[in-house]
Amino acid sequence: MKDLKYLAAMTIPISALIGLYFKGYWTYFTPVYAFVLIPIMELLLPQDSSNHEGEVRERKKVNPFFDWMLYANVPVVFGILLYTLLDISTNYHTTSEIIGLVFSVGIVLGANGINVGHELGHRSRAYERFLGKLLLLPSFYMHFYIEHNFGHHVHAATPEDPATAKINQTVYSFWFTSVIRQYFNAWKIQSKLLRQEENGFWSLKNDMLWYTLFQALYLLTIFLMFGQFAVLIALAAGVVGFLLLETVNYIEHYGLLRKKLPSGRYERVREVHSWNSNHIMGRIILYELTRHSDHHYKSSKKYQILDYHDVSPQMPFGYPTSMVLSFLPPLWFKIMNSRIPDEMKS
């Protein structure tokens, strides 16, 4: 029964459906739930630093239930997206309601779309990686698969990594630098991969071209089905989705840096190069993304068996609460800068 706790991740889409159904001020229920109610619950509930061991660990590792909970996000995410676009294109909504729905759907695209797409993007089975990329589509972040797997996991916690925030860099500055640099890095990585296999730019193996085509077709399909206004809504929700991701990127590695060795290379990524959180709500809502230290240490590990390491730098709050704090840079700096190891501040 304890495994069912991850179904709590579906409370984000449910909150969006509540807003869509009741309209009015209820359209803001998802952002309130995600950034007010969940942080309150994180403060009230105890942390859990326990790890799974032995037979329990092996059983959880191979239990398909954990995989199916991820797969279920595909129809949920696209179902809510299509339902919202249909509703907006056929019914009258006030400007305030539209803004609320954009944020609500955007949070679903980030939490249940990109976040789950990230988890599936690390899997070895092709159909799981396909589902992962599909979940990146409505946030126009399919390039994230290439940059994250072949870029971020190589350069994390170094100045070369767009997704590693510098100490005293605000989240708003980070949004611009990370979004732009990650996109162009993805093209550079793709070009390198093509050269290694002696393929040209117009090769069928140029995934970045396919991603661009799929995202354009996605918008064209929305235009043909729901009209021009729905395209604007889809674009706005997608932006909210990927900015949610970038806010998570911001808090995951803020101020943490790997040492540069005499050889000019950086030390290998260790458990100390990502922020960890054992706060219950953030863990289950985000499918253990908050145990990011272990994810970078062993990126092939499935979310249900990620471990807590004593040496990992600990966030004083869960990821949802920390995201809220990051929106207030002076408060964020005051809380987090003193927690960064001294050897990483130089």
User: CA 289 to CA 281: how far, in whole Å?
Assistant: 11
C-alpha dihedral (103, 105, 107, 111), degrees to nearest 10: 180
- pLDDT at position 346 is 61
Q: Check pLDDT > 90 for residue 298.
A: no
User: CA 209 to CA 189: how far, in whole Å?
Assistant: 13
Kindly give, in sequence order, each residue whose CB lies less than 8 Å from that of residue 272, ignoring residues fewer than 6 positions away.
256, 293, 311, 312, 313, 341
Asked if residues 192 and 172 have their Cβ atoms less than 8 Å apart, the reply is no
pLDDT tens profile 204-231: 999 999 999 999 999 999 999 999 999 9
User: CA 92 to CA 98: how far, in whole Å?
Assistant: 10
Return the DSSP state at 276: B
Give me the residue label for tokens 């400007």: 95
pLDDT tens profile 320-334: 999 999 999 999 999
- pLDDT at position 218 is 98
Residue 9 structural domain: 2-344
Half-sphere exposure of 211 (CA within 13 A, CB side): 24
Asked if residues 238 and 132 have their Cβ atoms less than 8 Å apart, the reply is no
User: CA 298 to CA 178: how far, in whole Å?
Assistant: 23
Locate the DSSP E strands across 67-225.
none
- pLDDT at position 210 is 98
- What is the DSSP secondary-structure string of 193-232? HHHHTT--TT-TT-HHHHHHHHHHHHHHHHHHHH-HHHHH
pTM value is 0.96
Band of the pLDDT at 295, cuts 50, 70, 90? very high
Asked if residues 60 and 335 have their Cβ atoms less than 8 Å apart, the reply is no
Look at residue 63 and give its three-state secondary structure: coil
Q: What is the mean pLDDT of residues 21-40?
A: 97
Best CA proximity match to 244, nearest among 138, 40, 106, 137: 106
Band of the pLDDT at 1, cuts 50, 70, 90? low
- pLDDT at position 287 is 95
- Bridge partners (DSSP) listed for residue 266: 260
Q: What is the mean pLDDT of residues 3-7?
A: 90
pLDDT tens profile 149-184: 999 999 999 999 999 999 999 999 999 999 999 999
User: CA 143 to CA 184: how far, in whole Å?
Assistant: 9
Query: Average model confidence (pLDDT) for the chain?
Result: 95
User: CA 109 to CA 97: how far, in whole Å?
Assistant: 18
User: CA 332 to CA 10: how far, in whole Å?
Assistant: 29
Number of domains the chain contains: 1
